[in-house]
Structure 1
Amino acid sequence: MKNKYKHVEETQISISELMLPSFANFSGKIHGGYILNLMDQIAFACASKHSGTYCVTASVDTVDFLNPIEVGELVTMKASVNYVGKSSMVVGIRVEAQNIQTGNVKHCNSSYFTMVARTDDGKSKQVPGLILDSDLEVRRFLKAIKRIEMKRKRQDEFDSDDFIPNDYLKELENYNVQVNLKK
């Protein structure tokens, strides 16, 4: 692939959907799983638009449900590519819900989906680079790098064969946990 770059704004996507009773749980709030499904769809669309190819979800980071979404509210999701690697992209998604009668808008969720571009035979495919045109875009790219570094560090520390739980017991003293390790 020729070294090609795209502006962040070229691949931004926004979708809106009215929340129906069929999307709600028993307490009348919209199922978190339904919202995650919509987020996965917009992440796919955004990543595919950037890469020009089929993409798959590799991971989802930082899913915090900040405010409940009610039946009858208009949910808008905004997605943009915040980071690109060789074949991967981090798509940032912001979820807002608007009461269409009052006009009040609330931030309900922000999340980061790592998507990987694939060829027709399922192999990873190189994606275009990213052109950063604003301080916000630079900040988002750098935050994605830091999340990736923290994830790798956490995996290296806790997933290694030489991990020794006893080295960490002191850190657990202020938590609501009882440790009963067999010797």
Structure 2
Amino acid sequence: MTLKAKPVHESRTLLTDLIFPPDTNHHHTVFGGKVMAYVDKIACIAAMRHCRKPVVTVSSDSFDFLAPIKTGEAINLEAYVTWTHRTSMEIYIKVEAENLLTGEKRVTSRAYLTMIALDEEGKPTAVPQVIPETEEEIKQHEQAKKRYELRRKRKQEAI
């Protein structure tokens, strides 16, 4: 059975939250682990929207922290499926900080996570292909095969 390919916009997911003091370290900036948890959660939602099946995270790469998010700022996340293989999906996540008083926004992190879709027995199962729509999505889709091969190579070298 061939699954019908889906456009990127069907997986696009947005999340905004406010950063409070318990979310931050002694520098009054959000803990990196807290950002990573947000990223994993939004990637899961985007992947499930794409395949409409349960998913698990199998890889996180290119997770770059570019700038801090301070107490009182909003954290804005955007995620979408950029590419699929047989049972896996690559999800791109962009994280921004927003000063809610001035409206200033800045990119604070970027990441690619790989999720695997699971069937009713918890085994990997096929996912639909993705159709990129914008110039950025097309570029990410074209570069995804290279990222996939780098992940495979890294995994093999770790064994």
Range class of TM-score, shorter chain: over 0.9
1: CA distance between counterparts of 2:92 and 2:22?
A: 27
- Deviations, residues 100-156 of structure 1 (Å, cap 9, x unaligned): 111111100000000000012110111111122333222111222111223334556
Larger Rg: 1
2:127 is aligned with what amino acid? V
2: CA distance between counterparts of 1:98 and 1:4?
A: 37
Pairwise CA distance, 1:34:
0.4
Query: What runs of 5+ residues in structure 2 fail to find an aligned partner?
Result: none
> What residue in structure 2 maps to residue 82 of structure 1?
82
Q: Which has the higher contact order (CA 8 A, sep 6+)?
A: 2
Does the CA contact (< 8 Å) of 2:3 and 2:127 recur in 1?
no
> What residue in structure 1 maps to residue 92 of structure 2?
92
After superposition, where does 1:123-162 map in structure 2 within 5 Å?
Answer: 123-154=123-154, 158=157
Please provide the CA RMSD for this pair: 1.5
Aligned pair in 2 of structure 1 residues 153, 27: CA closer, same or farther (>3 Å)?
Answer: same
Secondary structure in 2 matching 1:59:
strand
- Number of residue pairs matched? 159
After TM superposition, the runs of 4+ consecutive aligned structure 1 residues lying more than 6 A away are none
After superposition, where does 1:1-183 map in structure 2 within 5 Å?
Answer: 1-154=1-154, 158=157
2: CA distance between counterparts of 1:18 and 1:138?
A: 32
Does the CA contact (< 8 Å) of 2:24 and 2:30 recur in 1?
yes
2: CA distance between counterparts of 1:151 and 1:119?
A: 23
Secondary structure in 2 matching 1:41:
helix
Query: What runs of 5+ residues in structure 1 fail to find an aligned partner?
Result: 161-183
Query: TM-score normalised to the size of structure 1?
Result: 0.82
2: CA distance between counterparts of 1:93 and 1:9?
A: 14
Query: TM-score normalised to the size of structure 2?
Result: 0.94
Identity %: 34
